[in-house]
Amino acid sequence: MKKQKVALVSLGCPKNLVDAEVMLGHLPADRFEIITDEAKADIIIVNTCSFIKEAKEESVETILEVADFKKNGNCRKLVVSGCLPQRYQDELARELPEVDLFMGTGDAPRIVELLDADLEGERLPLAVGMADYLYDHTTPRVKSSPFYSTYVKIAEGCANHCSYCIIPQLRGTLRSRSIASVVAEVQRLVAEGVKEVNLIAQDVTAYGADREDGARLEDLLGELVKIEGLQWLRLLYAYPDGISDELIELIASEEKICKYLDVPLQHVDDSILAMMNRRVDQAAIRGLLDRLRRRIPEITLRTSFIVGFPGETESQFERLLDFVNEGHFERVGVFRYSREEGTAAAELESQVPERIKKSRYQKLMKAQKRVSFRKNRALVGNTEPVLIEGYSEETDLLLRGRSIRQAPDVDGQVYVTAGHADIGSIVALRITDSSDYDLIGEIVES
Helix, strand, or coil here: 340? Answer: coil
Give residue-wise pLDDT tens across range 4-39: 899 988 888 888 889 889 989 999 999 999 988 888
Separation CA 4–CA 47 (nearest Å): 19
> Is the confidence at residue 400, as pLDDT, over 90?
yes
299 lies in the same domain as 358: yes
In a domain, 303, yes or no: yes
164 lies in the same domain as 309: yes
In a domain, 133, yes or no: no
258 is in an annotated binding site: no
43 lies in the same domain as 167: no
In a domain, 349, yes or no: yes
Q: What is the mean pLDDT of residues 141-145?
A: 89
**Among 344, 377, 410, residue at a domain's last position:** 377
Q: What is the mean pLDDT of residues 205-216?
A: 96
In this predicted structure, what is the pLDDT of residue 122?
A: 64
Percent of the chain with pLDDT strictly greater than 70: 97
164 lies in the same domain as 80: no
In this predicted structure, what is the pLDDT of residue 268?
A: 98
115 lies in the same domain as 251: no
Give residue-wise pLDDT tens across range 401-442: 999 999 998 998 999 999 999 999 999 999 999 999 899 999
Query: Tell me, what CATH number does 237's domain have?
Result: 3.80.30.20
169 lies in the same domain as 260: yes
Closest by CA to 204, choosing from 227, 167, 236, is 236
Which one has a higher pLDDT value, 119 or 147? 147
Residue 87 Cα distances to 340, 341, 415, 427, angstroms? 11, 10, 41, 45
**Among 324, 355, 377, residue at a domain's last position:** 377
364 lies in the same domain as 400: no
Give residue-wise pLDDT tens across range 305-333: 999 999 999 999 999 999 999 999 999 99
In this predicted structure, what is the pLDDT of residue 251?
A: 97
Helix, strand, or coil here: 119? Answer: helix
Give residue-wise pLDDT tens across range 363-387: 999 999 999 999 999 999 999 999 9
Q: Which runs of consecutive H residues, i.e. helices, occur in 40-142?
A: 53-67, 69-72, 83-95, 111-119
Query: Tell me, what CATH number does 36's domain have?
Result: 3.40.50.12160
In a domain, 128, yes or no: no
Taking a C-beta distance cutoff of 8 angstroms, is the pair 431, 379 a contact? yes
> Is the confidence at residue 125, as pLDDT, over 50?
no
Taking a C-beta distance cutoff of 8 angstroms, is the pair 16, 47 a contact? yes
In a domain, 124, yes or no: no
82 lies in the same domain as 166: no
348 lies in the same domain as 235: yes
75 is in an annotated binding site: no
| Averaged confidence pLDDT in the chain | 91
Q: What is the mean pLDDT of residues 203-220?
A: 96
280 lies in the same domain as 228: yes
List Cβ neighbours of 207 (8 Å cut-off, separation of 6 or more). 154, 155, 176, 201, 215, 216, 217, 220
**Among 319, 348, 377, residue at a domain's last position:** 377
In a domain, 132, yes or no: no
> Is the confidence at residue 51, as pLDDT, over 70?
no
Query: Tell me, what CATH number does 418's domain have?
Result: 2.40.50.140
30 lies in the same domain as 173: no
Q: What is the mean pLDDT of residues 225-253?
A: 96
Taking a C-beta distance cutoff of 8 angstroms, is the pair 160, 206 a contact? yes
Residue span of the structural domain in which 111 resides: 4-119
Percent of the chain with pLDDT strictly greater than 90: 65
In a domain, 144, yes or no: no
In a domain, 136, yes or no: no
Give residue-wise pLDDT tens across range 85-95: 888 888 888 88
How would residue 346 be classed by pLDDT, with cut points 50, 70 and 90?
A: very high
49 is in an annotated binding site: yes
154 lies in the same domain as 268: yes
Number of domains present in the structure of the chain: 3
